[in-house]
Chains A and B, each alone.
Chain A
């Protein structure tokens, strides 16, 4: 009997697809349900961020950084502002540093909540998605209380903050910490340790340590592979060295180290660590004026600066070149999602279509950050 003639099928997943987390397009080559090749096609959300910044003054760039990784605006701002301050040689008041750390950690929780929720949604469980968004809403309310905005804040300024926090914010944040601790457990019970969810994610898309390191993967995606690398500990920017927290790595409780489940669970446990940092910071905020160090006119000397920070997605860095004028000569953003996405082809070959969705979701990419 002669064999049936078969041929490979090429399908476009995206740019309009519910689980590509934005306008990413994946060109999948399929042999039946098995994926033989994945080619990400980027650029659908390209907004010329880097070129645009060259026409802006330094403080004007901050709102643009908000729009890079829009689930993670505070951390974007912090990275850019730290780079700009390094260029200017500004030392910000202690109060500003503490508030920045609190805001960034709250934002990290919000970002991880979206990652976990949408990941559940990718797996077909819709309910955890809404539970996560409910909690995220509480974080956004805190932000709204401080700066009036819920998504794109323009809160962290070069040399300071746009608004000081109120005593009410402090009490509300403490309430949130108390409320959110048990919720992490609840989410773990509902989704993380669900049998079907583990079946879907454990052992899927294993990212070996060496591949991860060579490809420049960072953040929870790297830590899921068991590499203990967190810039908050390893680079100690801002005042992170004053706080006591653990770096979570995937340890293979389910599946194998480096698979989707371990990448996922790192996020679930990192939220707990963020709460710890906020707890330590919220009681020790010194008094001071948050705008005392804000320069009237931001005009750095000729030079360049590079600051890398740990955003919820991974290593977010800004490289600024100044030619001594009011506008930056060049700004380059090193986006974590972009580097993390680069390994998708290597680790999804041989898996099924449904697994590609899970692998992509486990990177927690944001297209605003990839395309810029």
Chain B
């Protein structure tokens, strides 16, 4: 199974209950400190200090925010659809968290090494759309509904460039298993797929294609996570807060948690596909750095770097309009990815 817990505890039910626990803990800790990190990053970019009143550097800030949210009343609007309204945030978070099952944190730790891993990820994370639409509809608020409708249009459209640009790697690697992607890219930074993957010198021709694919994949994942410049779902200057408007307390916190969880999940996928996953950039030069514990470090470091880039973009760029978003997807990203796909196919046939 590729999971160290299975080796230690055997192949039984308890193991399968325990396997997600470290990931869940990581997601919660990550979300707590990513929120703080985002506030700090934005503060530095804007010549501010950021939260610094709670503990050193505001380390307790988000924890206290969550405590505040827990205490808050869960307000359900009068004419809302109570059932859908209540379950929507949990669907969004569950769908996102299920994507973590195939994230290879290290060569010995992955939730489940499906041979259809990548396919599973795209399938399961798109389910969060249903939760968002549910929330938008059930709130009985026009702004929420707009937010929900926009999300559906946006995420369904951006599934295509995401999948197509990931397919480039799939064609080269000949697998859909996430663990295999990471294993193939062994042997240092030059064997990562963003630099053409492992192979002889002729792979140089692949580099521009792969860089473009990686950038497109990153842009599309930005759109799928609803981050600026594609945060039309929330678009505070138009839709106030989109689907979040009517949510309060912990139900709101679930949406927030899901957003940050998804940021990390998609960064993890981009890392695994293009940036060598848990492989050390030094390859076999320093074998010590490629031990399982260090692999976790590399995976987290690369993914967190991408998360940082997301924050960086968010605090720099304005928001695009919904039709421009669609134009970009259908008229630019998809044709480019199709051309990439064709070129890589050509390369595979010729070599």
* A interface, CB within 8 angstroms of B: 9, 11, 17-19, 33, 120-127, 130-131, 134, 191, 194, 196-197, 199-200, 352-355, 357
Contacts and interface: CB of A to CB of B under 8 A. Distances in A.
A353 B143 CA distance: 11
Given A124-B235, A354-B235, A196 B46 contact: no
B146 A131 contact: no
A353 B229 CA distance: 17
A352 B321 contact: yes
Interface stretch (B82-90, B206-214, B312-320): B312-320
A184 B176 CA distance: 51
For the complex of A and B, the 6 pairs showing the least CB-CB separation, nearest first, are A124-B319, A123-B318, A125-B318, A19-B237, A130-B46, A124-B318
A196 B317 contact: yes
A124 B42 CA distance: 14
Given A17-B240, A124-B237, A130-B48, A355 B321 contact: yes
Given A352-B322, A354-B322, A134 B47 contact: yes
Contacts of B318: 120, 123-125, 191, 194, 196-197, 200
Given A200-B319, A200-B324, 12 more contacts: A9-B142, A19-B238, A121-B237, A124-B231, A124-B237, A124-B319, A125-B316, A130-B47, A131-B46, A196-B317, A199-B321, A354-B237
B323 interface: yes
Given A17-B240, A127-B315, A196-B229, A33 B48 contact: no
- Most chain B beta carbons < 10 A, residue from A17, A124, A125, A354: A124
Contacts of A9: 142
A11 B316 contact: no
Nearest to A199: B324
16 contacts: A11-B142, A17-B240, A18-B237, A19-B238, A121-B237, A123-B318, A124-B319, A126-B315, A130-B46, A194-B318, A196-B318, A197-B318, A352-B321, A352-B323, A354-B237, A354-B322
A219 B317 CA distance: 28
Given A134-B47, A196-B319, A352-B323, A126 B143 contact: no
How large, as a class, is the contact surface on chain B? 20 to 34
B15 to A, nearest CB: 46
Interface string B155-174: 00000000000000000000
B320 A196 contact: yes
A200 B320 contact: yes
Given A199-B321, A355-B321, A124 B229 contact: yes
A11 B45 CA distance: 35
B47 A353 contact: no
B317 A194 contact: yes
A11 B237 contact: no
A353 B323 CA distance: 11
Interface in B320-338: 320-324
A27 B317 CA distance: 29
A127 B142 contact: no
A354 B240 contact: no
Interface string B116-140: 0000000000000000000000000
B321 A357 contact: no
B55 interface: no
Contacts of B73: none
- Most chain A beta carbons < 10 A, residue from B42, B319, B324: B319
B38 to A, nearest CB: 12
Interface in B36-81: 42, 45-48
A200 B237 contact: no
Nearest to A196: B318
A353 B317 contact: no
A131 B323 CA distance: 29
A294 B58 CA distance: 54
Contacts of B239: 353
A357 to B, nearest CB: 5
- Most chain A beta carbons < 10 A, residue from B146, B239, B318: B318
B46 A354 contact: no
B46 A353 contact: no
